[in-house]
Structure 1
Amino acid sequence: MFKSHIPMLLSLKHRFLFVHIAKTGGTSVRATLARYRYRGLWGAPMFIANKLDQMSGHRIGAKFPRHAKAIAAREMLPATLYDELFKFVFVRNPWDLQVSSFFHIRKERPQVLAGVTTFEQFIRLKFDPERPWNYLLDTSRERQRDYVVDLRGQQIVDFIGHYESLQADFDTVCDRIGLPRTPLPHRRKAQGRDDFRRYYNDETARLVEAHYREDIEMFGYRFDG
């Protein structure tokens, strides 16, 4: 189900901002922290603004989208407030992310695959240089790096967790924002998939490496782990 109406997860009472990159375990993080969003003095106005935005068909721009980048929040929030927030994000191995994306789209939005039945076809379509509009196929075509840096390429979030150590890194987040450690639920977990490396051949692995080179360099990922 497409959930563009769900806003970026911001808590003014607990002073945190979650930058949600698609397919990185963020749905589980949101499910655990959503209860804190509307607490405190500004909770009611935030709730009302969100509902008004939904009722207007998102015409009044009263919220940050679910998968907004950190730079959007920094541009819109007062500088002192943005600096005070604990801003965190989770990233994922780009090769693994593509497999997750393929299974998700095949289950949730099969109509957009337009006859694509194999993972190799999916990768070729997604990164076809003659079809730059293919970012519409899946938001994971965007570089994860772009979610955490400003226009000069400087990191503007405080903590980068990893999908591969999701619970341990989430525990660190909870410690930093002063909330109890909580086991993350398993949300939207793909069924019937194997280790991501088994879906690639040399060419498709290179296509992913070329597209996500900046992510691979910034977050230290490799194809073999």
Structure 2
Amino acid sequence: MLISYTHRFLFVHIAKTGGTSIRAALRRYRWGWPYSGPLLLCDLLSQMTRPRHILGIKFPRHAKAIAAQEMLPRAFYESLFKFTVVRNPWDLQVSSYHHLRHEHPRLLDGVPSFEAFLERKLDPARGREDLLDVSQELQSDYVVDLRGNLIVDYIAHYERLEDDFTEICRRIGLSHPPLPRLRQAEGRTDYRDYYSAKARALVTRHYAADLERFGYSF
């Protein structure tokens, strides 16, 4: 999550959706108001305690919008331009698979294929407390309150990120900063190449709420 107090925006960072690039482009606007110094000091002090976001100063990188809604003053939260980026769930799982293979290969010990990866990751018996990675969670959970109401103002799509980022900057009131391409997976092909009928069905079932809310299809 990235908050700007001067430019009044809040970015809800869903994993594997290009968020690292957006953070790099907008990080310079994070602070820059009269209380930046005290907030930075409090941020450093809060790292020695839990929860770190107790004052609304330091939210986890992939915090959901509801965390900010609950922790920040309501009027301030409502005044922010709140946005996120979502991604086709089938494509996102291929990205997740390659990320784990490259960054955390031990997590895939005994996992011989992409389909086996999905079977393990999306096994209902694992439970939410036993996440293989954060992309096991629904993207839709990042943008709604406890009643399922949408609480962000704009949902960008990874598939048209350049155009949507231009619109985000227009709404914030920024000249369009460069959007770097960071942490792109190498050695992968089109996501559809990875799926058997069984693997496709696993994603369809687990991410049904995302498919409905964001309008994605295979």
TM-score range, shorter chain: over 0.9
> Which amino acid is 1:145 matched to?
S
Q: How do residues 190-209 of structure 1 correspond to structure 2 at under 5 angstroms?
A: 190-209=185-204
Moved more, 43-52 or 145-154: 43-52
Distance 1:60 1:172 in 2: 32
The residue that corresponds to 1:137 in the other structure is 132
Distance 1:135 1:47 in 2: 33
2:72 corresponds to which of 73, 77, 91: 77
Q: Does 1:34 align with 2:27?
A: yes
- Provide closer, same or farther for how the CA distance between residues 174 and 135 of structure 1 changes in structure 2, counting only shifts above 3 A: farther
Q: Does 1:49 align with 2:70?
A: no
The Cα shift of 1:58 comes to: 4.6
The Cα shift of 1:85 comes to: 0.2
Unaligned runs of at least 5 residues, structure 1 = 1-7
Moved more, 60-69 or 195-204: 60-69
Contact 2:90 2:203 in 1 (8 A): yes
The Cα shift of 1:120 comes to: 1.1
Distance 1:183 1:37 in 2: 16
SS in 1 for 2:33: coil
Distance 1:59 1:77 in 2: 14
> Which amino acid is 2:199 matched to?
T
The residue that corresponds to 1:212 in the other structure is 207
Moved more, 43-52 or 28-37: 43-52
The Cα shift of 1:116 comes to: 1.3
SS in 1 for 2:11: strand
The residue that corresponds to 1:107 in the other structure is 102
Contact 1:21 1:67 in 2 (8 A): yes
The residue that corresponds to 2:172 in the other structure is 177
- Provide closer, same or farther for how the CA distance between residues 46 and 117 of structure 1 changes in structure 2, counting only shifts above 3 A: farther
The residue that corresponds to 1:117 in the other structure is 112
TM-score normalised to the size of structure 2? Answer: 0.94
Moved more, 159-168 or 61-70: 61-70
1:17 corresponds to which of 10, 32, 40: 10
SS in 2 for 1:181: coil
Identity %: 57
Contact 2:13 2:84 in 1 (8 A): yes
RMSD between aligned alpha carbons?
A: 1.4
SS in 2 for 1:90: strand
| Matched positions, count | 215
- Provide closer, same or farther for how the CA distance between residues 155 and 133 of structure 1 changes in structure 2, counting only shifts above 3 A: closer
> Which amino acid is 1:195 matched to?
D
TM-score normalised to the size of structure 1? Answer: 0.91
Moved more, 12-21 or 181-190: 181-190
Unaligned runs of at least 5 residues, structure 2 = none
Deviations 1:85-130 (A, max 9, x none): 0000000000000000000011011111122132111011111223
